[in-house]
Amino acid sequence: MTDDDTELAMIRRKKMAEIVAREKQAQAQKEKQAKSNVEREKLLTRFLAPDALKYLANVKEKEPGVGRRLEDTILYLIVYRGIREMFSQLDVMYIERQIKGEGPKIRIQRDGETSDFGEYVKEAIKESNSKTE
């Protein structure tokens, strides 16, 4: 065996050791992530009403990015802001709208036509003002 062969063997062993170390690190990262996910689920199950949990799951399925931000926000409120009350579906919907930047929406369906409640109220105010004048 020549010096080149021993150097090559040492390089191979070094590379194998690096690969094994990376695999161990990746496995540790996966285990840490799995543990974190279990803790997240425990907190959500404890502080979200059943209908709120279903709604959150539905949002996560339809819009994964929004769902993840919604979940992170709820967990932030629980962990860092100390909110210990049960979140209702309405609370979760409110937080979702805040994340999306949407205002409140109330729809009125009348004569087969759907309109925004705000517009409906504005029309009613105009009509009542014109009748009183």
How many folded domains does the chain comprise?
3
Distances from the Cα of 87 to the Cα of 47, 62, 91, angstroms: 6, 21, 6
Range with the poorest average pLDDT among 24-28, 39-43, 112-116: 112-116
Q: Are residues 76 and 89 in the same domain?
A: yes
What pLDDT, on a 0 to 100 scale, did the predictor assign at position 114?
73
Q: Are residues 97 and 58 in the same domain?
A: yes
Q: Are residues 8 and 28 in the same domain?
A: yes
pLDDT, mean of residues 62-86: 89
Q: Are residues 67 and 97 in the same domain?
A: yes
Q: Are residues 33 and 74 in the same domain?
A: no
Q: Are residues 97 and 109 in the same domain?
A: no
Chain-centroid distance of CA 108 in Å reads 30
Q: How far apart are CA 52 and CA 120, in angstroms?
A: 30
Long-range Cβ contacts of 96-101 (<8 Å, 24+ apart): 96/59, 96/66, 96/70, 99/66, 99/69, 99/70, 99/73, 100/66
Q: Are 56 and 48 in contact (CB under 8 A)?
A: yes
Residue at 11: amino acid letter: I
- For residue 87, give its domain range: 48-102
Q: Are residues 116 and 129 in the same domain?
A: yes
Q: What is the pTM of this model?
A: 0.61
Long-range Cβ contacts of 27-30 (<8 Å, 24+ apart): none
